[in-house]
Chain A
């Protein structure tokens, strides 16, 4: 193996490993319990493995339910607004305004109406996920490909069939971008609501670690969130590639 090839293979991990080594050295040098080295974090992760898994599961459960509610309601609504020009015209500035609302700002308001329980949290997550999904579905539905409608008419497709078989796939790329933004917002609101309103979830885990000065434990929690986020993103990308292979080939892009 040539030196160049070895370097190329090592590159993705070389820098992170170097930083890891630097961190370990710094921690050893500072020697304070408030600055744990990577080793301590791994240890904390192992010790708290069960708890982290449980809490992460609780968070994800809510995220999935809230997201599902948002998608189920907002995709049809977005398509409706995109198709019925008057409605879309009327509501577009409102949607644009909602786009500037930071998702976590929803939490206090919903808390006032729904309290702090699971249902309340799911509502918050649903609201946060709803906005990007609505925005992107709406935007994607506005585009009306003349060729597509002609094809639909030629095939004698009814309005519902047209929407399902032709319009929806055409709108998919943009909708999926909205999905990615919605997942990020959902995760953020979930963690925020847990930190502010307790009960359970990874946010609560982080908060407890902080209260007990367990920095390593907290970092293990953050690591769990990062890995989960990575996994979710990868999954969405996989789904995207599966659903949209035609789109990428069409555009001649590398996925």
Chain B
């Protein structure tokens, strides 16, 4: 980020914080519902001190990352399968159309029956909701690999499997990562919603508990935490993207 942009972020943040403090102090909205920043901060600190927040963060982030990694692997595997078999791709497209619109919240009540209340539940829901990003992007990317590169592989007498591994997948990686970035945001939503509905721990559960106990500053603090988690996860995916597809990042001129 260049200096002016950083500055702008700071100014904007300050502006928002000022407005927030203003609204709370001036009592435009009842102070009850609009706690000052100090209160929110104090609430957050307390949750850190008694260990609630760190434990919840660990659970939530851990589940999101684990689910995202698994969903990515499955999504890519299915994309490879679709590339090899147009018949499968066409059939799976129907399934995609039917399953993709289902909001994760709707899956939770029934999923509990099949997967209990532990890690398996979250992984299942995350996978159900996030494989579409890597899968759909993978299918289009694999299809778009320049034929010359594939011909090169054939000239080197590679098997179709070798061509997929050495040529097609590396070529498709940048676009697949775009799908992973999108999936990361969705996985976080899936985890938080699942924790809110069925959880016994995690940020989502904490959020519900604090709000049902009318602990308003803590509720605001936790919402802020979920936002930070989104940024964190996106940064993690970006790191992975640079490691695995650094060549493309520089080629496209993105700031490294």
Contact = CB atoms under 8 A, between A and B. Distances in A.
Direct contact of A and B (CB under 8 A): yes
Contact of B90 (A11, A104, A210, A227): A11
A159 to B, nearest CB: 27
Contacts of A112: 33, 211, 214, 216, 219
Given A102-B192, A104-B189, A203-B105, A210 B226 contact: no
Interface string B36-74: 000000000000000000000000000000000000000
Contacts of A15: 87-88, 90-92, 94-95
B93 A12 contact: yes
A206 B107 CA distance: 9
A90 B11 contact: yes
A35 to B, nearest CB: 8
Interface stretch (A117-125, A139-147, A213-221, A246-254): A213-221
Interface size class of B (residues with CB under 8 A): 35 or more
A210 B113 contact: yes
A13 B97 CA distance: 12
Given A100-B230, A108-B219, A93 B113 contact: no
B252 interface: no
A191 B185 contact: no
Contact of B12 (A92, A101, A184, A192): A92
A111 B210 CA distance: 12
Interface size class of A (residues with CB under 8 A): 35 or more
Contact of A195 (B88, B91, B93, B197): B197
Interface SS, B side: helix
Contacts of A101: 223, 226-227, 230
Given A16-B95, A191-B105, A222-B102, A104 B193 contact: yes
Interface in A168-215: 184, 187-188, 191-192, 195-196, 202-203, 206-207, 209-210, 213, 215
Given A104-B192, A188-B193, A111 B211 contact: yes
Given A16-B95, A34-B113, A113-B33, A104 B220 contact: no
Contacts of A16: 91, 94-95, 98
A8 B91 CA distance: 10
B104 interface: yes
A218 B110 CA distance: 7
Nearest to B129: A188
A184 B101 contact: yes
Contacts of A104: 105, 189, 192-193, 196, 204
Interface of A: 7-8, 11-16, 18-19, 34, 89-94, 97-109, 111-113, 184, 187-188, 191-192, 195-196, 202-203, 206-207, 209-210, 213, 215, 218-219, 221-222, 225-230, 232-233
12 contacts: A15-B90, A15-B95, A89-B12, A97-B227, A104-B105, A104-B204, A105-B204, A108-B196, A206-B110, A209-B110, A215-B113, A232-B101
Given A209-B110, A227-B98, 5 more contacts: A104-B189, A104-B196, A105-B204, A188-B189, A192-B197
Interface of B: 8-9, 11-13, 15-16, 33, 86-88, 90-95, 97-110, 112-113, 185, 188-189, 192-193, 196-197, 204, 207-208, 210-212, 214, 216, 219-220, 222-223, 226-231, 234
